[in-house]
Amino acid sequence: MTGAVRTSTRDIARAAIRSELAHVAFDLFRREGFEKVTVNDLAAAAGVSRSTFLRYFGSKEDAVLSAVDAQGEQIADAVRARPADEDDWTALRRALDTVIRPHRQDTDGALAMSQLIMQTPALCARSQEKQNGWRPAIAQALAERDDPARPPALGPLVRAAAAVDCLNIAVNHWTASDGRCDLDDLLDEAFAALAPR
């Protein structure tokens, strides 16, 4: 029991440090511009050594996009939690609420983050790469809705990819509107464009 508490406390402390480093990095990128800021600058602004910073983030891109890593599994878990009688496309749309919830909770912060990513080619490319990595987990969750023992066929993978693209298009439009458009409505519209007729 004591070991579990230590591990838990260590994990909490590590997550708090990681969050603080990401916050410092984001603020510095917004002020100075992503391209102008080096890992040394980030470490200095956070009051840590370069090696400490790199222990938490492998690159400055990861300092901005670290939250994206877990989102694929969050979406997959949300798909698994949807009612069994719900069609896959509706389940995917509702599962994406887990990703857009922060946009509702902290609109200004989410908008600033989206603008930074869209305006920085390296971040945009890295974000796309990370989101492409979500597809297998989401496809597996869709396949499990039909038959938990069966590996995902092409159909679930295509639906997963289409859902992620709908999310990207909706977020891009939301960002271009400076957050004035409703992100839920944009995502609904994107999904409706591909809904079976």
pLDDT recorded at residue 27 = 92
pLDDT recorded at residue 102 = 84
pLDDT recorded at residue 41 = 95
Query: Which structure tokens are listed for 146?
Result: 């039909």
pLDDT recorded at residue 5 = 47
CB 142 within 8 A of CB 152: yes
CB 68 within 8 A of CB 22: no
Mean pLDDT in each 10-residue stretch from start to end of the chain (197 residues)? 60 88 92 93 94 92 86 95 94 96 89 93 92 94 80 85 96 96 96 86
pLDDT recorded at residue 34 = 92
Integer Cα distance of 52 and 141 in angstroms? 36
Neighbours of 181 (CB within 10 A): 15
pLDDT recorded at residue 15 = 85
